[in-house]
Amino acid sequence: MKRIMLFLMTNIAIMVVLSITLRLLGVDSILAENGSDLNIQALVILSGVIGFGGSFISLLMSKWMAKRMTGAVVITSPKNNIERWLIDTVEKQAKIVGVKMPEVAIFPSPAMNAFATGASKNKALMAVSQGLLDKMSQGEVEAVVGHEMSHIANGDMVTLALIQGVVNTFVVFLSRIIGHIVDRVILKNNQGHGIGYFVTVIVSQVILSILASTIVMYFSRKREFVADTGGADLAGHQNMINALKRLGQVEPEALPEQMAAFGINDKGGIMALFSSHPPIEARITALEARALRQT
């Protein structure tokens, strides 16, 4: 809750400063002179509602969506020794990191992957692929589970949702400001919102969303390094390194976009700036250096 309040207050403060800055720069005066009825304060509020609304709705629906998009089946009663061992491992790690036992699921994929999601760290879902269980040793699986448990314990799902909310707010706000300027100042339209406004808003929102996604992906990559160290602490550095090396030997199967940032691995984007995960080699190097420092 403190994390949510901090991000909300930060976002409000940024938007207030932005609103004041636009006034000092005379943007509202320019718009008024050109017949604009834009209310910047109202737009700030609207942008915040839209920006955070979509982000929080996605967060609240994340477990439901994850189960349906991946076909993950929650283990309610272990059917074999592997499922029993997996439940015991997750339960042990949950106690170590101090969170409530998450739901544990297996999704039907031959690829080696896993993810964690949920609205909070005490109401989370952790899922591993059948391919991960089939192809990795127990030590490596334990490290992957530790990686995902670290995402949960660190509250990464909420953190990234809040960051997404902040950038969404800016995208909505700035795209509409740009639309008003084009419509009123450049196209000299004083009769409501013309086609120039709507086209400009759509184009601006697409461009700004692409740029804003690099910010979210930057934070996602940083959290991956932290989750790797958490997995190493829970299962041992060598098991975590071995798991990453095994993942680096095959082309990963991409998770649905909503869960990609919380998986153990993911396909990189066209450019590194748009990738939710750092390169496997960089993650292994960081862990090896950390292991040496601790010896």
In angstroms, rounded to a whole number, what is the distance separating the alpha carbons of residues 131 and 45? 46
Of 140, 148, 251, 257, which is the active-site residue?
148
In angstroms, rounded to a whole number, what is the distance separating the alpha carbons of residues 146 and 191? 59
Give kind and range of the element (H or E) at residue 282: helix 280-294
In angstroms, rounded to a whole number, what is the distance separating the alpha carbons of residues 10 and 52? 13
In angstroms, rounded to a whole number, what is the distance separating the alpha carbons of residues 83 and 78? 5
Give, in order, the Cα–Cα distances in Å from 164 to each of 122, 149, 251: 21, 22, 28
Give yes or no for a contact between 87 and 75, defined as CB atoms under 8 angstroms apart: yes
> How many other CB atoms are found less than 10 A from the CB of residue 241?
21
253 is catalytic: no
- Burial class of residue 76 in the structure, from the number of CB atoms within 10 Å of its CB (0-12 exposed, 13-18 middle, 19+ buried): exposed
In angstroms, rounded to a whole number, what is the distance separating the alpha carbons of residues 260 and 255? 5
Helix axes 156-180, 40-60, angle to 10 degrees: 150
Closest CA relative to residue 149, chosen from 113, 112, 101, 107: 101
Helix (H, G, I), strand (E, B) or coil at 269: coil
The partner residues of 73 in beta bridges, in order of sequence, read: 106
Residues belonging to the active site: 148
